[in-house]
Structure 1
Amino acid sequence: MPTYGPMYVPVTDNGEPFYSEGFPVRFYKNDGTEWVANFQPGWTYLKEIIEFEKTQNLLVMAFGTCYIMNPNDTKPIRVFGVGYSDIFSVSNDRLVLQDQTDLTIVEPDGSHWHTERISWDGLAEIKIENNLVTGLAFNPIHDADEWVAFKYDLDTKALTGGSYYSFENKKPWWKVW
């Protein structure tokens, strides 16, 4: 944090002041002035700043929390996530953010969408080729502690495999009929 000059601007998901050490970033406005933001951190060690080519907006990853920012504004455009652990670039300027249980796709304009839940608790060995995400999803059910392969098509938004599945429309195992 700067030791002199104007006070930093705390940036959070809910707009409430945040005064602990977070992720400080210096922004330069179009008029030549600058300001320093202190982003409230998430739950991981991922820190990164990515410029969007189609807009002047930036993706600021503050310890796993994603902030979409315009350098001219002190309030975030969007804030989402707290546990992102990795970022992957995809062929058409998309970004794929890896969480513990699912993925978030950030489009070139800064809009985003989340996949359905893929894993009970953990994703590993993520690879992306031709808009197809492959990897392993952890399955702790029934003392198996195994990793299950999955594929996710970014264009059709179709998931194949993974360790998480819905219990909808299935007879609960704990009820006796």
Structure 2
Amino acid sequence: MKTVSTLAIAIFATAGLASGAMAAEEKNFDGAYAGLELGFDKMKVTGAGDANINDKSLYYGGILGYRTQMDNGLVVGVEGTLGDNSANLFENARTKHEWSTSLTLGTTITDSTLLYGKVGYAEVKNKFTPADEDSFSVTDGGWRAGVGAEFALANNISLRTGVDYTRYDSNLKQWQGKAAVVFNF
């Protein structure tokens, strides 16, 4: 988590310094937006009996948010995600879905390129299906941090790539590398 925190602080500091020297001509990262994301998910559970559990899976989900791009290129916003990775945590346990909400801060380095960081809260629902019992679900929440870049293709569509790290209240840790198509309204 220290690496993610250090990286986030460096991006925010760079954003603050760069935004003062730049005036945005176009506001490609302003207003409401929605998108679809796809990526790689790695979940790790430590202290689970005699063995640690590592699961790698495909992540897919949606994004919904709102942001404001200031004249100096600074971009602030809030976004939410809802997705699924269907990770295998134990023999009879899988993740069902996850959601998150985050505050975002970034800066435009050109009219069509945004560098951003985010900090927020995420929750994952895990479904357990023991062989001799009824299935049940457990919800686990934790803090999420992420960094990324977004590239405007036109005034209303952009491509995004980023990495998120989440540490849940249990011994569950999650890394996600994602790419997304974002539509601005």
Report the TM range for the smaller structure's normalisation: under 0.3
Whose Rg is larger?
1
Compare the two structures and name the one with the higher helix fraction. 2
**Which is strand-richer, 1 or 2?**
2
